[in-house]
């Protein structure tokens, strides 16, 4: 065998090794994330109610005709490797109280940062309690200073997912292209990750409010969960090796 053919065979072998190193390191990952913070917005003219440290979250319309909205933020970039491609995203919450009828509830990307303070409502928590510093309220992103541009929170009008939510039990907003895109943006631009808002039917005559269990709920299995599937970026070392081999071949 000539020296040229021998060298070519070595290069082909190295390329095969590099490709194998790249592809062997790429395995789909799955992660489940509990919110890093959550809160409820209680419709209130004074904008002074919250429940940042409470064990429950609320969304929908109450018997008194007042709106409730749930805020959730998940630390995606802290749980999924940078550069990964997210392929599935689903959100599961546990309903612990509320009307038993099925009502549509939508998930919307939030467009402004917000806080979770030390407020902790009493009893069933449905009326909220006086906000503490740093809490999100109907009017404030961080009580008592900064405010939402729009009372009730700033969020994208087009929902990322819609699910029909019923009585006590676990309910899931299944993976959609918009939920995946949201989660990908939360991974790629963590500084703009302000989470999601859950809205119920706030206009129907019968009450539609649901009570969800929050991240502070003493029953860990009832806490909200974001489930993500992703494909990590191949190892950079093998990529550099392959690029070097290919460049060397082109010079010959």
pLDDT in tens, 137-191: 999 999 999 999 999 999 999 999 999 999 999 999 999 999 999 999 999 999 9
Work out the end-to-end distance of the chain between its first and last CA atoms, rounded to an integer number of angstroms.
18
pTM: predicted TM-score of the whole model, two decimal places: 0.84
Q: Which two tokens stand for residue 15?
A: 């390329």
What's the DSSP call for residue 25? T
- The whole-chain average pLDDT of the chain stands at 88
pLDDT at 23 over 50: no
Residue with tokens 């069933």: 124
Task: With beta carbons less than 8 A apart as the criterion, state whether 143 and 46 touch.
Answer: no
What's the DSSP call for residue 55? S
Give dist(CA 213, CA 216) in Å, integer.
Answer: 8
Q: Which neighbouring-strand residues pair with 155?
A: 110
pLDDT at 35 over 50: yes
Q: Where are the domains of the chain?
A: 1-26+234-252, 28-233
Contacts of 13 (CB under 8 A, 6+ apart): none
Q: What backbone phi and psi angles, to 5 degrees, belong to 4?
A: -65, -45
Task: With beta carbons less than 8 A apart as the criterion, state whether 184 and 193 touch.
Answer: no
pLDDT in tens, 94-143: 999 988 789 999 999 999 999 999 999 999 999 999 999 999 999 999 99
**DSSP run (H or E) holding 11:** helix 3-24
Q: What is the pLDDT of residue 100?
A: 77
pLDDT confidence tier of residue 5, bands split at 50, 70 and 90? very low
What's the DSSP call for residue 216? T
């Amino acid at each position: 065998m000539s020296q040229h053919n021998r060298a070519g065979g070595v290069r082909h072998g190295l390329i095969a090794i590099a490709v194998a190193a790249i592809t062997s390191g790429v395995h789909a990952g799955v992660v489940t994330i509990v919110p890093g913070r959550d809160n409820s917005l209680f419709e209130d003219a004074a904008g002074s109610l919250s429940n940042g440290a409470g064990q429950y979250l609320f969304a929908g319309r109450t018997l008194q005709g007042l709106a409730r909205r749930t805020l959730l933020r998940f630390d995606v970039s802290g749980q999924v490797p940078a550069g990964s491609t997210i392929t599935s995203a689903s959100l599961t919450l546990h309903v612990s109280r509320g009307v038993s009828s099925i009502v549509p509830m939508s998930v919307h990307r939030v467009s402004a940062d917000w806080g979770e303070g030390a407020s902790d409502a009493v009893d069933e928590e449905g009326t909220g309690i006086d906000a503490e510093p740093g809490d999100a309220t109907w009017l404030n992103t961080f009580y008592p200073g900064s405010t939402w541009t729009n009372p009730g929170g700033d969020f994208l009008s087009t929902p990322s997912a819609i699910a029909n939510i019923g009585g006590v039990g676990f309910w899931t907003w299944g993976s959609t292209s918009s939920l995946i895109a949201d989660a990908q943006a939360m991974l790629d631009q963590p500084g703009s990750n302000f989470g999601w808002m859950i809205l119920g039917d706030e206009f129907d005559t019968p009450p539609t409010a649901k009570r969800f269990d929050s991240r502070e709920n003493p029953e860990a299995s009832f806490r909200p969960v974001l489930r993500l599937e992703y494909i990590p970026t191949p190892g950079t070392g093998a990529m550099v090796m392959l690029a070097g081999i290919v460049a060397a071949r082109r010079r010959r």
